[in-house]
C-alpha cells in the first residue's frame, strides 16, 4: 500500500438525476491493512459503505465492506460501485466479469450495456409477528405482514415490514431508537405499487446509517418476498431522499440478480 492511496466515491443505483443513488467509497489496495485503518478510512469518508479491494487473480478480488462504524458481511451498492470503478479505471477490461470473494461467498458483476448486473444470494424472509419494538419503530403505521431473514449473526439479519401502499412507505417517519433495538441489523419497509412495481426504504441506525439511500442487499429479501405475487422480475424504487432505481430478478436457484447504473462522483487520495 502506497503512502498516498487513491479512492473514488461512486453513486450506485442512480436515477436520471445527478447525485442520486447510494454513494460508496472504493479503494483498491495492494493488501488489506489492519482493520482499524480500514474502519478509520470508512469513518473519514463517511459514506454508508466503503469497499476495500485486493486483487486475487486476473479478474478476481477479495472484497470487504465497512460502514462508518463496523464491517458488514454483504453490501450490494458498494459491490456495484466497486465493479464500476474497476472498469472505469481500466483495472478490468470492459467485457470482463468481476469476481469478488467475500464473507457472503462468491459474488459476480458484469456489464449489460450501461448497466451493472450483480449476482447475489437470496435471503427470503420468514413470517414473524410484529414485536413491540417493531410497532414502535413504525410509529403507529400498521403493517400488513412482518418477517425476518435468517442468519447466524443477528446483526446480519433484517426485519421486514410490508405496508399497504407505496405512499405509506414514502411518508413513514420511523422511530430510529426503536429500530436500533430490533434484533437485527436493519429494517426494510416495502409495498407494491407506485411508479415501480415495488417501493422500499431501509433503516440501519445500529450500523451508523439512519436511512440508507439505496440498499442492494435489502432487495435480496424484497425480490424473493414479492416474487409469488408480482413475478420474478421487478422494477424497484428505493424512496429515500436521494432516490434510487434497480431491477431485481429472483432466480429458481436461490439467487438474486440486481442491476442498475453508477456514476463516479469524486476521486482523491487518502494520506
Q: Domain map of the chain by residue range? A: 5-120+258-270, 126-250
CATH hierarchy code of domain 126-250 = 3.10.310.10
pLDDT at 4: 64
Average pLDDT taken over every residue of the chain: 94
Distances (CA, A) of 162 to 91, 127, 129, 134, 145: 41, 11, 12, 12, 5
Reported as a pLDDT band with limits 50, 70 and 90, residue 271 is confident
44 is a catalytic site residue: no
Pick the CATH number of 5-120+258-270 from 1.20.58.1880, 3.20.20.70, 3.10.310.10, 3.40.190.10: 3.10.310.10
Whether residue 169 contacts residue 201, with contact meaning beta carbons closer than 8 Å, is answered with: yes
Interatomic CA distance for residues 172 and 62, integer angstroms: 37
Please write down the long-range contacts of 140-143, taking CB distance under 8 Å and 24 or more positions apart: 141/168, 141/172
pLDDT at 2 over 60: no
208: left (phi over 0), alpha (psi -120 to 50) or beta: left
User: Do the first three CATH levels of 5-120+258-270 and 126-250 match, i.e. the same topology?
Assistant: yes
pLDDT at 1 over 50: no
pLDDT digits (tens, 9 = 90+) for 85-110: 999 999 999 999 999 999 999 999 99
pLDDT at 124: 95
Percent of the chain with pLDDT over 70: 99
Interatomic CA distance for residues 225 and 56, integer angstroms: 35
- Which residue among 44, 49, 58, 128 is the active-site one? 49
Amino acid at each position: 500500500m502506497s503512502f498516498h492511496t487513491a479512492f473514488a466515491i461512486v453513486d450506485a443505483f442512480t436515477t436520471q438525476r445527478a447525485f442520486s443513488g447510494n454513494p460508496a467509497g472504493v479503494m483498491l489496495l495492494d493488501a488489506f491493512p489492519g482493520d482499524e485503518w480500514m474502519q478509520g478510512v470508512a469513518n473519514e469518508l463517511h459514506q454508508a459503505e466503503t469497499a476495500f479491494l485486493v486483487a486475487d487473480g486476473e479478474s478476481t478480488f477479495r472484497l470487504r465492506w465497512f460502514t462508518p462504524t463496523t464491517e458488514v458481511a454483504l453490501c450490494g451498492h458498494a459491490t456495484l460501485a466497486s465493479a464500476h470503478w474497476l472498469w472505469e479505471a481500466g483495472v478490468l477490461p470492459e467485457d470482463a466479469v468481476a469476481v469478488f470473494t467475500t464473507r457472503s461467498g462468491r459474488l459476480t458483476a458484469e456489464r449489460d450495456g450501461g448497466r451493472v448486473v450483480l449476482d447475489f444470494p437470496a435471503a427470503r424472509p420468514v413470517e414473524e409477528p410484529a414485536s413491540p419494538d417493531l410497532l414502535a419503530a413504525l410509529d403507529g403505521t400498521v403493517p400488513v405482514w412482518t418477517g425476518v431473514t435468517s442468519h447466524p449473526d443477528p446483526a446480519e439479519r433484517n426485519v421486514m415490514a410490508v405496508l399497504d401502499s407505496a405512499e405509506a412507505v414514502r411518508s413513514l417517519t420511523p422511530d430510529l431508537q426503536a429500530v436500533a433495538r430490533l434484533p437485527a441489523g436493519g429494517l426494510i419497509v416495502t409495498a407494491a405499487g407506485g411508479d415501480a412495481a415495488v417501493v422500499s426504504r431501509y433503516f440501519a441506525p445500529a450500523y451508523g446509517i439512519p436511512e440508507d439511500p439505496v440498499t442492494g442487499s435489502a432487495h435480496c429479501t424484497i425480490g424473493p418476498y414479492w416474487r409469488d405475487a408480482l413475478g420474478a422480475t421487478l422494477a424497484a424504487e428505493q424512496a429515500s431522499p436521494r432516490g434510487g432505481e434497480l431491477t431485481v430478478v429472483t432466480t429458481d436457484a436461490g439467487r438474486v440478480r440486481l442491476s442498475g447504473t453508477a456514476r463516479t462522483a469524486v476521486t482523491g487520495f487518502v494520506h
